[in-house]
């Protein structure tokens, strides 16, 4: 009844049963990067597994609030199979949507990420969404450099 706004059922489902989450260290990934929000203590590690120019698979590890965990879990599903270039663009779009730079663009969120849209109404929580996406962008950069 309450909390309908922010905690959509899909989001809660991802929080309760996160996809592609590791309990221990992420192994054999092409690149692993970590993001931390010192303000609330959340920490997310993202590992990417590449195949040619595509993201084959993503794993994450870490702790955080429901939005943080759900965003990471959704991320692993949203980008699996995308091209590296396409993923990079998606990372940028997420940054612009949730950083309030492109407010109008929210409607263009891929289906699997729609449940996050409500977070845009809560500026204080935007960083919770973006933590994993920033780590993903860093991981792609790292993989590209190696």
Task: List contacts with another protein (CB under 8 A).
Answer: 1-3, 5-7, 12, 15-16, 38-42, 64-68, 122-125, 128
Nearer to another protein, 29 or 130 (CB): 130
Nearest distance in Å: CB 127, another protein = 10
Nearer to another protein, 7 or 49 (CB): 7
Nearest distance in Å: CB 96, another protein = 15
Helix ranges restricted to H, the chain: 9-16, 66-79, 84-98, 126-145
Whole-number Å distance between alpha carbons of 142 and 146: 6
What burial class does residue 85 get, using C-beta atoms within 10 Å of its C-beta: 0-12 exposed, 13-18 middle, 19+ buried? exposed
Nearest distance in Å: CB 7, another protein = 6
Closest among 60, 66, 65, 81 to 134, alpha carbons compared = 60
Whole-number Å distance between alpha carbons of 14 and 129: 13
Nearer to another protein, 39 or 145 (CB): 39
Nearer to another protein, 6 or 84 (CB): 6
């Amino acid at each position: 009844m309450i909390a309908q706004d922010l905690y959509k059922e899909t989001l809660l489902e991802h929080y309760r049963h996160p996809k592609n989450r590791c309990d221990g260290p992420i192994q054999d990934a092409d690149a692993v990067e970590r993001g931390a929000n010192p303000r609330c203590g959340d920490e997310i590690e993202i590992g990417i597994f590449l195949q040619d120019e595509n993201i084959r698979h993503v794993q994450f590890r870490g702790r955080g609030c429901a939005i943080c965990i759900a965003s990471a879990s959704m991320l692993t599903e949203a980008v699996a199979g995308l091209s590296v270039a396409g993923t990079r663009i998606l990372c940028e779009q997420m940054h612009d949507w949730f950083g309030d730079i492109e407010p109008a663009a929210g409607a263009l969120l891929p289906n699997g990420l729609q449940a996050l849209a409500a977070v845009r109404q809560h500026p204080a929580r935007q960083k919770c969404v973006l933590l994993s996406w920033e780590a993903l962008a860093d991981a792609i950069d790292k993989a590209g450099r190696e």
